[in-house]
Amino acid sequence: MNVKKSAPWFYHDAELQSGMSVTLTDEEARHAAGSRRLEQGDALTLFDGRGTIAEAVVGEIGKRGRDVVLTIAGTRTVASPILPLHLASALPKGDRLAVMLDMATQLGMSSFTPLDCERSVVKVSDNAERRWHRILIEACKQSRRPYLPEVQPALSPGALMQHCKGEVWIAHPDGISPTALPSPVGDSLTILIGPEGGFTESEIAMVSACGARKVSLGTGILRIESAAVAMLAYARLTFAANE
Ligand code: SAM
């Protein structure tokens, strides 16, 4: 086995077991045989997006690197996050959405729900699901996170509150500092981020009536993705850092 300093990560959405042979195809095969130029005998790491990690060795590489056959040497399972962090955010424009999803995944986001607010301008596009899936996979690979965030269908803040079981924070410049809050109650934390025009008074009243806390990152007005990433970083370091 040609062991390199840090074996690159690849995603394989199927059961991973020691001794098993698996084949990478499509983007993952191109990544392995193309950009990473892996060769027979090279070591790599596979993850299934559900917490299982496998150490594997490259066997055969198909013509033009279309498929890469691997043998799994061993597996381990990483404990799931102690406090799942769910992000429900209005969509920022253009590339800023990709940046938000990438950074949020690196910070351990467990799920993403596009938030359809009264003042939302950007809507979920037709091919979004596949594009977002790739961004989340690449962010997991980059940050060595074996849990792939789930993408939920778009919901209004009111509809979202019907689904939320744990603690909910609504990000707002007029809220209280997260440092003044006790640990979240329940088994998850959901963070709501509003659109460029902000949440309407009625949206804030409705989610607050359902138990959401209005939480502030200071008086400055942050972009959607800055607010999302700052909230997740705070919550992860304070309540959810078990990895
Ligand atoms: N004019 C809008 C307003 O006053 O709400 C600005 C909206 S901001 C571009 C987009 C979202 O980021 C806000 O709805 C809020 O959820 C979040 N946000 C921005 N600045 C924040 C801050 N200082 N504290 C907490 N959340 C913030």
What digits encode the pLDDT tens for the residues 194-210? 999 999 999 999 999 99
- pLDDT of 4 > 90? The answer is no
- State the distance from the centre of ligand 1 to the C-alpha of 156, rounded, in angstroms: 17
| Range 6-26 average pLDDT | 94
Q: Nearest C-alpha to atom 14 of ligand 1 is from which residue?
A: 194
- State the distance from the centre of ligand 1 to the C-alpha of 25, rounded, in angstroms: 41
b/e 22-38 (16+ beta carbons within 10 angstroms → b): bbbeeebbbbbbeeeeb
Kindly list the structural domains of the chain, giving each domain's residue range(s) and its CATH number in brackets, ordered by start: 9-77 (2.40.240.20), 85-239 (3.40.1280.10)
Q: Which atom of ligand 1 is nearest to the CA of 220?
A: 23
Average pLDDT, the chain: 93
Q: Report the residue among 89, 169, 172, 229 best suited for mutation to probe ligand 1: largest number of ligand atoms under 8 A from its CB.
A: 172
Angstrom distances, CA of residue 232 to CA of 83, 140, 184, 190, 204: 12, 16, 13, 10, 20
Lowest mean pLDDT among 32-36, 67-71, 168-172: 32-36
How far is the C-alpha of 88 from the C-alpha of 164, rounded, in Å? 11
Q: Nearest C-alpha to atom 7 of ligand 1 is from which residue?
A: 198
- pLDDT of 224 > 60? The answer is yes
Q: Which residues line ligand 1 (CB under 6 A)?
A: 171-173, 193-194, 196-199, 216-218, 220-224, 227
The confidence band for 121, taking pLDDT boundaries of 50, 70 and 90, is very high
| Range 122-126 average pLDDT | 89
pLDDT confidence of residue 243: 53
